[in-house]
Amino acid sequence: MKRFINHEELARDSRFVRQDSAMVTILAQVPDDVDTLVELLDKLTPMIEKSVQGTEAAPLFEAYGPAFMLVTLNEPLNPDDPALDSRLRQRFHGIFAGELQALEGAGRSLWDFPDAPWEFKMNMARQCWDETRHVQIFEKLLDHVGGWVGMYPESSFLFECACSDDPAMRVAGVNRGLEGLACDVFRDMIRYAEKVGDEKMRQAIDYVLADELTHVRFGSDWVREFTKDDPEYLERTQEFRRSVDKQFSLGGARSNREDAAIPIAWEDRKDAGFTEEELQELVELSGGGPSRETMREAARILLERHRARSQEAGA
């Protein structure tokens, strides 16, 4: 078995549909400008249309257009929202896929770095079991909200962005970037579960969040250990983590902005070992990108263009 695999090599059963992660990359780079966002996403329309075929995302594509993710996934969960069920299922499906990739990332860290210290291997092995339980938990929560595995396409951008071939960068990307994002998402989900009085959901995700704090601590400890006595290596690792955090901010959907769908879980992240300085940095780098209004407007224009093209094709 070779070491270091590409995200496209992640093995899936026939229920899964793979989606290109280009949109996430674009969201990490575009300014708060409707025209720029529209032009960039318009080029992706054929690819997005193809990836949703045969999944529950196809009706969303028809209803909201090629940028349906901007107006479904990146909106806050509101119990009064008529589209709540769809948003919930998309979010749980996305989390389920994220946990699967986190399991694969932790497992590959054992295989890819055979000469790593024993304690590192123990931490990664423990994380494998934890992520396994998370996959099982979110498969059940997906069912709890009326969803099923494979109902939406899976983007492997979490594995793609976080799984560096360098051990310090791997733990910085997976354990601090990916697991840090998980802290934000899970705190937001717990708030939602409390709001609607869903105790099953609240308790299960609270346990998952507790695990994630441990995983972030693994990351903090091993970045320090792998880069000790080498400030230049530490800086490169921190730079990698910043780029991962930027990608995982989904254009500001995860940030401390007022219009953010997922606020940064400040206290949880502090418990997990993030410093105030790192959190301030995260606030700054995640706060850029298109606002929710920009995303909505871009989505509206893209929907109009898509409908015009469909009509033309029909005529």
Partner 1 sequence: MSEAIRMYPGAGPDERTTFDAYSAFDVPADLRELHGRYDVETTARRVRNFRYAHEWMMMIGGGWVATIPELPVKTGLGKIVWDDAQSADQLGRRLPELRCGKRSVTTSEAANEGFAALVQEVAEPESPDLTIEKITGMFDVLKPHLLAVYDRMGRETDQISDAPTIEILDDVVRRTRKHIAWGDEVLGRLCDTEARRERRGKRAQEMRTKLEACGGVTGTITDESFGAH
DSSP 154: E
List of residues 6+ apart from 269 with CB closer than 8 A = 180, 183, 184, 216, 279
The pair of three-digit structure tokens given for residue 193, joined into one six-digit string: 């579960």
Q: Which of 87, 89, 93, 108 binds partner 1 (CB under 8 A)?
A: 108
Name which of 66 and 150 has its Cβ closer to partner 1. Answer: 150
Stretch that binds partner 1, among 47-55, 114-122, 217-225, 301-309 (CB under 8 A): 114-122
Q: Which of residues 261-300 bind partner 1 (CB under 8 A)?
A: none
196 binds partner 1 (CB under 8 A): no
Q: Which of 54, 63, 79, 129 binds partner 1 (CB under 8 A)?
A: 129
Residue whose C-alpha is closest to residue 154's, from 69, 78, 211: 69
Total residues interacting with partner 1, rule: CB under 8 A: 34
- The pair phi, psi for residue 163, each rounded to 5°, is -85, 80
Name which of 44 and 110 has its Cβ closer to partner 1. Answer: 110
85 binds partner 1 (CB under 8 A): no
Name which of 103 and 301 has its Cβ closer to partner 1. Answer: 103
Stretch that binds partner 1, among 105-113, 176-184, 252-260, 275-283 (CB under 8 A): 105-113
Q: Which residues of 231-251 are buried (b: 16+ CB within 10 A; e: fewer)?
A: eebbebbbebbbbbbbbbbbb
In the complex, which residues of this chain contact partner 1 (CB under 8 A)?
Answer: 1-3, 5, 9-13, 100, 103-104, 106-112, 114, 117-118, 121-122, 124-126, 128-129, 131-132, 135-136, 149
